Chains A and B, each alone.
With several copies, the nearest count.
Chain A
Amino acid sequence: MAKTKVDKDLIRELAALMEETGLSEIEIERDDDRMRLVRATAPIAPVIAVPTAAPTAAGAVAAPAPAGDGSGDLSAHPGAVPSPLVGTAYHSASPDAAPFVKVGDQISAGQTLLVIEAMKTFNEIPAPKSGVVTQILFDNATPVEYGDILMIVE
């Protein structure tokens, strides 16, 4: 678009028109010309008013341990294995036993990845798919909440 061809009066007119009509964007395309005008949708603060003074101890207790900080970001990970229940998660069937899986293990769908104890019952958590365990996101014998990401299988 040749500089000389920019019609500043047109821009002014359109801007006035946007003001008048309350429009926030105008885009006009003709032949090889294209013009797009945007008017800032004002500094409207978000409606969501969170009670920020509220004590934020909430959720502190059952955060998954080591890589726990990253679990929030990992929840959308395609290989994420979320906890299907609340309880205490274990790497192995008993203190003396070997862990069910280690990082780097090739596993198959349905294979037990860990156990979660709730109400004196040990619940075996199976692999949702086959793949390689790339991350283990909880410490042995620590509490997990529903939805916490326990492992990544890729």
Chain B
Amino acid sequence: MFEKVLIANRGEIALRLHRACREMGIRTVAIHSTADADAMHVRLADEAVCIGPPPAIDSYLNIPSILAAAEITGSEGIHPGYGFLSENAEFAHIVEEHGYTFIGPSEQHIRTMGDKIQAKQTVKGLGIPVVPGSDGEVTDPEEAKALAADMGYPVLIKAASGGGGRGMKLVRRADEFATALEACRTESKAAFNDDAVYLEKYLEQPRHIEVQVIGDGTGKVVHLGERDCSLQRRNQKVLEEAPSPALNDAVRKAIGQTVVDALSKIKYTSLGTVEFLYENGEFYFIEMNTRLQVEHPVTEAITGIDLVREQIRIAAGAPLSFSQEDIRFSGHAIECRINAEHPKTFVPSPGQVGDFHAPGGLGVRVDSGLYAGYRIPPYYDSLIAKLVVHGTTRNDCLMRLNRALGEFVVDGIEVNIPLHTDLIQEQDFIDGDYHIHWLEQFLEQQD
């Protein structure tokens, strides 16, 4: 096991990593910008090194500085957390080349999954379902009809050279192809000087469902169920839950097995998440995140597994400590991302925290680097706390979440706690009946 790990991140996730290390008897090195000298994880770490000025490019993204910090502290492993350098294959490469252990997947897997096109081809080849489409250009309405019949309506005709939402046409019935295909080709020619178009299945109100996996590099891969992260605003997840209200056990097992089979073939190492859109009982691959995710605690809550601990163990060369048969899903968990932002306008609200009081009691977990009097720097993202609530059933979980949100005090700055309180009172949300556009539609109705 590692003697000392450098935590190449900040905020709540740096604290999360510190806690896991501390609980494993591993000494921690916090790196930080000048803006984060007072941060909780810096105060708690065994050692701390200031590596640069506030801009992330000069500190948390500054590879030479991070390696220098590892060098002067004699760290053995480097944990990148999420964001920043966590999915930077070059960083993983340099870390390993300098003789440190990168606590994450192999450089090669990061690289492959980091390229959208290559990722899609790779996972498709491994047997993971992707959004169906024509393999190339389509010119003939009859060919289009045949393809669309296979993938199911509605179907999107997309300009091969298009982008930014232009050069697209939605087709809901076969008889629309006759005119739609030609129209799209004409528009495309006019707009992009290229009349090539192709087909892709169109998802109207999909959910965002992601499968958590972990592998130890021997080909042994285990899935830890899914998370439903459909509540998003501008592609940012706001609230996540596990299990998804939309899946039953059979579906869960099937998609889990598909993902496990695929990633076993490439001997995937460390934590990873395969993200899908889900509609009408079908999964469609979006991307794979080759790192620990913000919302990992909901999976920890329902499985009882400490994901970060397991990730560190594997990086240190240990085999997975459990098999698929050992995984039991228990109860329901929801995570609310507490952001320093106005709950209506979403304007970020950095500044000095007045009173800070986290909710407690049974089934409530708070991951936060905040404390009374802490000054939230304006340079980084607005996530300041994660409230994770676990209950026996989804309803128990919602009741407990409501209770916990009501106890949460963060003064001095604006936080989005009222948004979460409102959200969980919505009938659609209570019914589990929502999709990736639901939150933005809800917010529009609020105005």
Asked if A58 and B44 make an inter-chain contact with CB atoms under 8 angstroms apart, the answer reads: yes
A contact residues around B440 at 8 Å (CB): none
**For the side of the interface on A, what is the size category?**
20 to 34
Asked whether A53 is an interface residue with its Cβ less than 8 Å from the other chain, the reply is yes
How many angstroms between the C-alpha atoms of A87 and B47 in the bound complex?
15
Asked whether B134 is an interface residue with its Cβ less than 8 Å from the other chain, the reply is no
Residues facing B in A33-53 (CB within 8 A) are: 45-53
The answer to whether residues A51 and B355 also contact, given A61-B49, A85-B52, A145-B49 and a CB cut-off of 8 A, is yes
Residues facing B in A100-143 (CB within 8 A) are: 117-119, 121, 143
Q: B interface, by DSSP: helix, strand, loop or mixed?
A: mixed
**What mask results when residues 157 to 195 of chain B are scored 1 for a CB within 8 Å of chain A, else 0?**
000000000000000000000000000000000000000
A contact residues around B115 at 8 Å (CB): none
How many angstroms between the C-alpha atoms of A121 and B65 in the bound complex?
11
The answer to whether residues A47 and B352 also contact, given A58-B30, A119-B98, A146-B52 and a CB cut-off of 8 A, is yes
A contact residues around B45 at 8 Å (CB): 57-58
B contact residues around A59 at 8 Å (CB): 42, 47-48, 50
How many angstroms between the C-alpha atoms of A54 and B39 in the bound complex?
11
The answer to whether residues A121 and B48 also contact, given A50-B43, A51-B43, A53-B409 and a CB cut-off of 8 A, is no
A62 smallest CB distance to B (angstroms): 5
Asked if A145 and B46 make an inter-chain contact with CB atoms under 8 angstroms apart, the answer reads: no
Residue count of chain B within 8 Å CB distance of chain A: 44
Asked whether A22 is an interface residue with its Cβ less than 8 Å from the other chain, the reply is no
The answer to whether residues A54 and B409 also contact, given A61-B49, A85-B52, A86-B52 and a CB cut-off of 8 A, is yes
- From A52, A53, A88, A118, name the one whose CB has the most chain B CB atoms within 10 angstroms: A53
Q: A interface, by DSSP: helix, strand, loop or mixed?
A: loop
Asked if A86 and B65 make an inter-chain contact with CB atoms under 8 angstroms apart, the answer reads: yes
- From B44, B50, B72, B374, name the one whose CB has the most chain A CB atoms within 10 angstroms: B72
How many angstroms between the C-alpha atoms of A146 and B31 in the bound complex?
10
B contact residues around A47 at 8 Å (CB): 352, 354, 372-373
Q: A58-B30, A147-B50 are in contact. List 17 more A-B contacts (CB 8 A).
A: A47-B372, A50-B355, A51-B40, A51-B357, A53-B410, A54-B409, A55-B46, A55-B406, A58-B46, A59-B42, A85-B51, A86-B50, A87-B65, A87-B72, A145-B49, A145-B50, A146-B50
Q: Which of B's residues lie within 8 Å of A, judged by CB?
A: 29-30, 34, 38, 40, 42-53, 59, 64-65, 67-69, 71-73, 98, 352, 354-357, 371-374, 406-412, 417
Q: 19 interchain pairs (CB within 8 A)?
A: A48-B374, A49-B355, A50-B43, A51-B43, A51-B355, A52-B355, A52-B409, A53-B357, A57-B45, A57-B47, A58-B45, A59-B47, A62-B47, A86-B49, A86-B51, A87-B68, A118-B67, A146-B50, A146-B53
Q: Which of A's residues lie within 8 Å of B, judged by CB?
A: 45-62, 85-88, 117-119, 121, 143, 145-148
